[in-house]
Amino acid sequence: MIEGFRLGVYSRGTTLWDGLDFAFGDAAAWFVTGPPSSGKTLLLSILRGERRPDAGDVLVSGESLYRGNAALARAWRASCGYIPEQTVADERLTVGDLFRRSALAGGGGRETERKERTDRLLEMVGLRGTSAWRISELSISERVRACLAAELLRGPKVLFCDGLVAGAGVPSWEMLWGLFRALAREGNTVILAERRIPERWALAAGDPEPVGPFRVYRLPGPAAEPKGEPG
C-alpha cells in the first residue's frame, strides 16, 4: 500500500498543490490524470521517494519514505520500476544497453537468462529483434515501449509510468491494457500518470476519485472486467 498524506508541493514561487491524500492499494493498476503542468511527474517522483514533498509524507506499507530509515527508502526505490516521459538522455544507448543497465540495477543475473527474457519482453512490446538498434533511431512510441520492456526485466514490484500510454500510441493500448492487468494479477502495482485516460479505459474503470487537480482511476482487475477488451 502506498499512501500519501497531506502532500503539498511548493514550486515556481507558488503552491502547486497542498493537503492531497492518496492511497494506492497493492496488486492493482492505477491511473492518475491531470492537466499539463499540474505536477504529475512531480507526484510520481514523490511517491518513488526521489523528491521530498514540501508538506506531508509518503508511507509504504506503513513506513515513512522521508522520515524513516534512508536504507528503507533505497530498498523501496530498488523495488520500483520507472518509465520517464523524456528519454532523450539515453539516445547514445542501444535497446540492448537499456536491458543491460536495467539488469545491472537489478543485480546482474545470468547472461543467457537475461538475453532470453530480453527477447521475450521485446517481442511482447512489439519490438522483436531490435536489441542492436540505437535509441536515437527509434520513434517515441518505440522508445517508450523499449523502456517499459527494459524495466520489466527486473520484475519491479511497483511500476511508475509517466506518460507511457500517450507515448506508446493508440495501437499499443490493447497490449498495455493486457500487460497492466497481468502485472496486477501477479501482485504488482502499476501507477500511471497521464494527461488523459483512454475513453474505453475510463468507462471500464468507472468514476474516478478527484484529488486536487488529479483524477485517480483504479483499472479493473480481470475478475471485475466488463465484456470486451477496452483499448
Partner 1 sequence: MSERPSLWWIDWRLSPGPLVRETIGRFLLFCLLGFALLTLLLSGGVSRILADRYAITAVLRAEVPSGEGEGLARKAAALPPVRSATYRDPETAWKEFLRSYPGLDPLRGAGENPLPGYIEIRIRPDRLTVEDVEFVVSALRAVSQVDQVLAGEEWLPRLLSAGRLASWACWGIFGAFLAGFFLFARLQERARAVALAGDFAFLAERGVSAGRLAFLRAAGAALSGFLLAALGAAAGGGALFLSLRKFPILERVIGSPADLLLPRTIASAALFSIGVALLCSATSLLGWSAARAGRK
User: 46 is written with which cell numbers?
Assistant: 514523490
Q: Report, in Å, the least distance between residue 206 CB and partner 1.
A: 33
Of residues 109 and 206, the one with the C-beta less far from partner 1: 109
Q: Report, in Å, the least distance between residue 96 CB and partner 1.
A: 12
Of residues 82 and 180, the one with the C-beta less far from partner 1: 82
Of residues 1 and 78, the one with the C-beta less far from partner 1: 78
Q: Report, in Å, the least distance between residue 92 CB and partner 1.
A: 8
Of residues 135 and 211, the one with the C-beta less far from partner 1: 135
Q: Report, in Å, the least distance between residue 35 CB and partner 1.
A: 25
- Residue 120: CB atoms within 10 A of its CB come to 13
Residue ranges binding partner 1 (CB under 8 A): 48, 50, 73-82, 89-90, 92, 100-101, 103-109, 154-155
Of residues 101 and 218, the one with the C-beta less far from partner 1: 101
Q: Report, in Å, the least distance between residue 112 CB and partner 1.
A: 14
197/217 Cα distance (integer angstroms) = 9
